[in-house]
Chain A
């Protein structure tokens, strides 16, 4: 029993260490989307941190703390994977927020130390320019990552999340207006 507890705690310790460690090269992804609706109309759909139902990959959002800095949410994905996120900054007037992933299994999303900004601006033609960007490290903190945990895999995964999310957001907002 004692052995089992020791083993468990060392696994937990290892996990904590892995969660902090990362490689030497940070990655970035920026995806922009034009939407034929006002920034306010787009904002109405995305503004609640504890509701990410506008993203097609998210089946459930459980949130705590509303839209205040420090609020947390857990996203459940269609494949059952979970992502735990924390809101760091929220600005209603600028239609922007900034959040981080607190923890995620790299099998679900192959990234570590992930932070992200979501921002909506007028596009000058009556519509909106939505920008979603992320900064993160690959899922494998050591050298010579397996292909599924490489820099490229991390960028591809985040790009997929942003593109599918923004395409769906465009569909939702443009249908509403």
Chain B
């Protein structure tokens, strides 16, 4: 019975989301499907809410201690934040900008990702070497999955059946079967993989390798590394343009952004972007990439086509924005 009503509930939720989107548009705040970026500030225990129409910080939400990881539901209404120091996960209201639920979790929750249907939250525990599976409504623990050493970046396949985990201190990507809750395959990548991102059609996984200064490109049909592309010093985060024509990598110690041509599998540009760039995401439809600069305390807005910096928006202290911090971003 429960199963039968699920699609209807899903449709109603979608309808509600569209209504919200339309009323926001009607209020003159732009028609973007993803009007906000949510940036974790590890230095002041907050999340900055950035309005992507006005390109201004409009709110700040207090969370747990040393927030790092972030995931935004596809309709932008729910925000999930990991706090490795207070060892908990927060669920925030993405419309009213307030904390809804706190869940104590593990010893060092860091990487976080949502299932495509927004029903499950995956949280990597840096110290326990496992991934928690949480119910996205109440944050209750559904499962625990053993993975490799110091799991960090997470991504979920478009069909929801696979979870990809960057096992930083094993130099591996673990592939988890989300139905069986176990690692079914591991793929060797570069040294100290940290940030990972799927391309929008879900056929490739890009892996930033902090210690080998390169980007591993994993083909998800053959489950093999098809290229290793040299980038700048200490690559940390990856973003992929919605049309998959450009890939962006933040090079932390070099204060640069590598721009990759995913067809030629080579770097085409390297741009000065600001100090200690970290979290990065491409917006689904506004033609921009957003980059959190940890040292400069700002969110850089970059035009995907022209590669020009449009604006630098002040954030809180030490922004990380590790994860999908804009709804539907890639």
The answer for the CA separation of A135 and B254 in the assembled complex, in Å, is 13
Contacts of B126 in A (CB 8 A): 23-24
Inter-chain contact B233/A88, CB cutoff 8 Å: yes
Which one of B42, B127, B233 contacts A26 once the chains associate, using CB atoms below 8 Å? B42
**Cβ of B200 < 8 Å from any Cβ of A?**
no
- Known: A25-B84, A28-B43. Is A20-B68 also a contact (CB below 8 A)? no
For window 102-142 of B, CB contacts with A under 8 Å fall at: 107-108, 110, 126-127
The reply to whether B169 and A21 contact each other, CB–CB distance below 8 Å, is: yes
Residue from A28, A98, A100, A143 in contact with B108 in the complex, judged by beta carbons closer than 8 Å: A143
Chain A residues with Cβ below 8 Å from B318 are: 26, 28
Tell me how many residues of A have a C-beta within 8 Å of chain B: 17
Q: Which of A13-53 contact B (CB under 8 A)?
A: 17, 20-21, 23-26, 28
Whether B68 pairs with A25 at a CB distance below 8 angstroms is yes
Give the distance to chain B from A154, nearest Cβ to Cβ, in Å: 14
Q: B192 → chain A, closest Cβ, in Å?
A: 7
Q: A84 at interface (Cβ–Cβ under 8 A)?
A: no
Q: A28-B43, A28-B318 are in contact. Are A23 and B108 (CB under 8 A)?
A: yes
Q: Complex Cα distance A25/B110, Å?
A: 10
> Interface digits, A56-98 against B, CB 8 Å rule (1 contact, 0 not)?
0000000000000000000000000000000011000000001
| Known A21-B169, A88-B233, A135-B295; contact A143-B107, beta-carbon cutoff 8 A | yes
**Chain B hits for A112, CB < 8 A:** none
Inter-chain contact A24/B192, CB cutoff 8 Å: no
Q: Taking A20-B192, A23-B108, A143-B108 as contacts, is the C-beta distance between A28 and B66 under 8 angstroms?
A: no
CB distance from A88 to the nearest CB of B (A): 7
A136 to B110, CA, bound (A): 18
Contact A143 B127 (CB under 8 A): yes
Given contacts A115-B253, A135-B295, contact A24 B84 (CB under 8 A): yes
Contact (A28, B295) CB under 8 Å given A20-B211, A21-B150, A143-B107: yes
A133 on the B face (CB < 8 A): yes
- Max chain B CB contacts within 10 Å: which of A24, A28, A133? A24
Within 8 A of B (CB), among A88-122: 88-89, 98, 100, 115
A9, CB-defined interface residue at 8 Å: no
Q: A10 contacts the other chain (Cβ, under 8 Å)?
A: no
B66 touches A25 (CB 8 A): yes
- Assembly CA distance A17 to B149 (angstroms): 11
Given A20-B211, A143-B127, A26–B110 Cβ distance below 8 Å?
no
A142 close to B (CB within 8 Å): yes
- Residues of B contacting A115 with CB < 8 Å? 253
B254: A residues at CB distance < 8 A: 89
Q: Which of B42, B107, B127, B295 contacts A25 (CB 8 A)?
A: B42
Whether A17 contacts B169 in the complex (CB less than 8 A), given A25-B85, A26-B42, A115-B253, comes out as yes
B interface residues (Cβ-Cβ under 8 A, vs A)? 42-43, 66, 68, 84-85, 107-108, 110, 126-127, 150, 169, 192, 211, 233, 253-254, 276, 294-295, 318
Known pairs A26-B294, A143-B107. 9 more at Cβ < 8 A?
A: A20-B169, A21-B150, A23-B108, A25-B42, A25-B85, A26-B318, A28-B43, A88-B233, A100-B253
A-B contacts, 13 of them at CB < 8 A, read A21-B169, A24-B68, A24-B85, A24-B126, A26-B294, A26-B318, A28-B43, A28-B295, A88-B253, A89-B254, A142-B127, A143-B108, A143-B127
